[in-house]
Amino acid sequence: MAASFGFLWWQTGVIYQIYPRSFQDTNADGVGDLKGIESRLDYLASLGVDAIWISPIYPSPMADFGYDVADYCDIDARFGGLADFDSLLAQAHARGLRLLLDFVPNHTSDRHPWFVESRASRNNPKRDWYIWRDPAPDGWPPNNWISDFGGPAWEWDEATRQYYYHAFLKQQPDLNWRNPAVRAAMYDVMRFWFDRGVDGLRIDVLWHLVKAADFPDNPPNPAWQPALGDMHRVLQLHSTDQPEVHAIAADMRAIADSYGSGGRGDRVLIGEIYLPVDRLLHYYGRERAEVHLPFNFQLIDAPWQARALATLIADYEAALPPDAWPNWVLGNHDRPRVAARLGQAQAGVAAMLLLTLRGTPTLYYADELGLSDVAIPPAQVQDPRGLREPTLALGRDPVRTPMPWDGSENAGFTAARPWLPLHADWPVRNVARMAQEPHSILALYRRLLAARRAHPALAIGDFALLDAEGDILAYQRRFGAERLIVALNLGGNLQRLELPDWASDCRVLLSTLAHAALVEDRAVLLRADEGVILMANNQNSEG
């Protein structure tokens, strides 16, 4: 953003998530690495994003591809080393790009030295760093809690005759955040990376950190069906979202703010929190400030219907605490891609929605290419969740496939066999090819990101829904004298939107389609699957 108008970079900016295994390989092992990300920084800067968030790159046995951390203060050799990270950070900053890391505080790898000590004996000083419990009177696990990857969340340790708790894989034991020593150690991890210069942390499964102290059974889920997966058989009433987690989030915020300029929050904290909105918003903080951006995932699961989305957006805006900054997400490394959910025709409309709503948007790598989910042959499935419940199509491999850069072998991603297969249409759906096509979805993303920079109303302006009917979702963005209308046709038929009086004489600033929509008789005619940004003719043109 050329001018911040007193807003912080993470409020005016756009975040781009990189899944490092799949972005760019430079050492010909089929897996992406830090040097690969550094080699593509010019692309990211030219795309128009403001920050990159990198999924875990810490040393790990890779049972869950980096979310099983064996050392929080180093880099896995598959990705490079600390010197490579420092170079990437310096080169990102040289291009005006911020860099965020994934922080995984809920659990470690079972090979982390802390857990190795913890399971050594019941009287080991680090025993209480993890969650150990005696069996139930019948000898079975202490309660009915279920792993998010299916099956019991308790693993029996024969040597010490107790169970340990794991919300995910058995190779990912949960830390005991009620232990002050654990909190101090993890806060030191945050300081290690902030001292190194990172601009923020995305906090993995923040709402999982604290469990009910007496470990009661979770209630059964009355709406459970086998298609939902084993984890949903019970409601996670006692195993997540406990009141004590908010003091921890506030401590984390205080650490982040201590690195800012005058406590202004230059270092951003983003919380991964899958909860209903009324509980999600508590993570902004009530008595003390907590995370800057509790991730808002509503668009991922929402029905793609204009009236439903209008209600969702209005309710979220109305529920935000005072001074809380909104944020929006359309995809990530765990959920089906936008183009897979909505189809190619609506993927451009979704891009316009994401990049013109009030708040901070997060893009997932290759969504700017319209990449869809990739069918993974059974013999090539890598994701542990997909391997554990293969019939339920819960695997996340389809959304983690390699970034296609050009038409050369393996799409320019690697000189070796990629760790996951490429999408079938990579010879035409790649950066180099689509960059030459003036009406590709990549070109659309670039125009949208440029419009956010040129028009403060789109990045930081006020938001108000406009009256619309049928498949049209329409809203106004306003900052100072600048007033813009965003009109989105979420359907496959021609739609008409009556314009307010102030916009009766307006023009199309940007369309998702090749030719501008027709504006006539105080209305705009939206073609099937079209989104437009409108500007009154008496306002400044795009800079």
Residues with a catalytic annotation lie at 204, 272
- Residue 237 near residue 243 (C-beta atoms within 8 A): no
| CA gap 441, 386 in Å, rounded | 30
What is the sign, positive or negative, of the torsion defined by CA atoms of 496, 499, 505, 506? negative
- Residue 365 near residue 392 (C-beta atoms within 8 A): no
Per the listing, tokens 């310096």 go with: 90
Burial degree of 324 (CB within 10 A; 0-12, 13-18, 19+): middle
- Residue 492 near residue 529 (C-beta atoms within 8 A): yes
The backbone region for 414, taken as left when phi is positive above 0, alpha when psi lies in -120 to 50, beta otherwise, is beta
| CA gap 25, 47 in Å, rounded | 20
Type of residue at 172 = Q
- Residue 24 near residue 403 (C-beta atoms within 8 A): yes
Which residues touch 118 (CB under 8 Å, ≥6 apart)? Answer: 124, 126, 127, 129, 130, 132, 173
At CA 409, angle to CA 405 and CA 414, rounded to 5? Answer: 65
Q: Which helix (H) or strand (E) holds 327?
A: strand 327-329
| CA gap 377, 365 in Å, rounded | 22
User: Helix (H, G, I), strand (E, B), or coil: what is residue 311?
Assistant: helix
3-state helix, strand, coil in the chain (%, to 5): 30, 15, 50
Type of residue at 335 = R
Q: What is the DSSP-derived secondary structure letter of residue 220?
A: B
